[in-house]
Amino acid sequence: MSYLSSLKSIFLCREDCFFLMFLYFRCNVVIGITKEVFVNIVYPIKDKEKIAQMKKILSTNKRNLLLFNLGINSGLRVSDILALDIKDVKDKTFIELREQKTNKYKQFPINEKIQSDIKEFIQNRNINEPLFLSQKDNRLSRVQAYKILRKAAKEVGIDVHIGTHSLRKTFGYHHYKQFNNIALLQRIFNHSTPAVTLRYIGLFQEEINDSYKKFFL
């Protein structure tokens, strides 16, 4: 039976739906699909102190720290980050790539701190190697990146679901908080409307929650 047929049969009644959600939250995996893939409910890291704590934990491994820093400072999808080779970043002040999901060309500057971290990280390495290697010298996978981030998030006590997409959402959330320019962020993310961008970075829900806290009759 195909995956789609399996899902269709599971959702035939409401009771089955609730049972599926119970299994999903209790077991983390339903019919072989991880939480992050099954439901794209991952959140930005909104607390800057938590970000600093994660950096401290990840600093024991230069690869992991650079992965985190590049993610939260570029707004790239993790698939595009993991696809980078050393030649794409060596002695570069800009990163140029074609997004894997949209096939759109993207160019953006690398800030000086990230440039410095990259220079140190790739020292004496072959320019044709993947930027991020696993312990077996293969290109780091999305699953491996997910485990790295989840472990660090758990250690600092982040109690919302964090996944690889959280890096991009974290960039978006703090970019908007710093510049208050949703139109600019919409263009960076190639979203269709500002509303999509606000929802994507979690601000719609944040505004709803704040309104409930302040509302009283």
Domains of the chain: 3-38 (no CATH), 48-173 (1.10.443.10)
Rounded to an integer, what distance in angstroms lies between the CA atom of residue 28 and that of residue 21? 10
Looking at the predicted structure, is the pLDDT value of residue 10 above 90? no
Is 168 catalytic? The answer is: yes
Contact 191, 168 (CB under 8 A): no
Work out the average pLDDT over 162-182: 95
Rounded to an integer, what distance in angstroms lies between the CA atom of residue 147 and that of residue 36? 11
Among 65, 66, 69, 122, smallest CA distance to 92 is for 122
Catalytic entry in 35, 142, 168, 174: 168
* pLDDT score at 25: 43
Higher pLDDT, 26 or 173: 173
Chain mean pLDDT for the chain: 84
Which residues on adjacent β-strands are paired with residue 109?
94
Is 139 catalytic? The answer is: no
Looking at the predicted structure, is the pLDDT value of residue 104 above 80? yes
Among 120, 122, 139, smallest CA distance to 130 is for 139
Catalytic entry in 77, 142, 150, 169: 77
Segment 128-138, tens digit of pLDDT: 999 999 999 99
Is 101 catalytic? The answer is: yes
Is 176 catalytic? The answer is: no
What pLDDT band is residue 31 in, cutting at 50, 70 and 90? very low
For the whole model, what pTM was predicted?
A: 0.78
Looking at the predicted structure, is the pLDDT value of residue 2 above 90? no
- Listed range (79-88, 159-168, 206-215) with the worst mean pLDDT: 206-215
Catalytic entry in 35, 46, 150, 165: 165
Among 64, 70, 65, smallest CA distance to 84 is for 70
- Tokens 């985190």 correspond to what residue? 68
Contact 182, 176 (CB under 8 A): yes
Work out the average pLDDT over 189-217: 86
Looking at the predicted structure, is the pLDDT value of residue 101 above 50? yes
Rounded to an integer, what distance in angstroms lies between the CA atom of residue 63 and that of residue 176? 27
Q: Cβ–Cβ contacts within 10 Å for residue 129, how many?
A: 14
* pLDDT score at 87: 97
Among 150, 56, 78, 73, smallest CA distance to 114 is for 73
What pLDDT band is residue 12 in, cutting at 50, 70 and 90? very low
* pLDDT score at 93: 95
Higher pLDDT, 29 or 166: 166
Catalytic entry in 14, 101, 136, 214: 101
Is 161 catalytic? The answer is: no
Is 26 catalytic? The answer is: no
Rounded to an integer, what distance in angstroms lies between the CA atom of residue 159 and that of residue 148? 16
Looking at the predicted structure, is the pLDDT value of residue 122 above 50? yes
What pLDDT band is residue 204 in, cutting at 50, 70 and 90? confident
What pLDDT band is residue 40 in, cutting at 50, 70 and 90? low
* pLDDT score at 205: 77
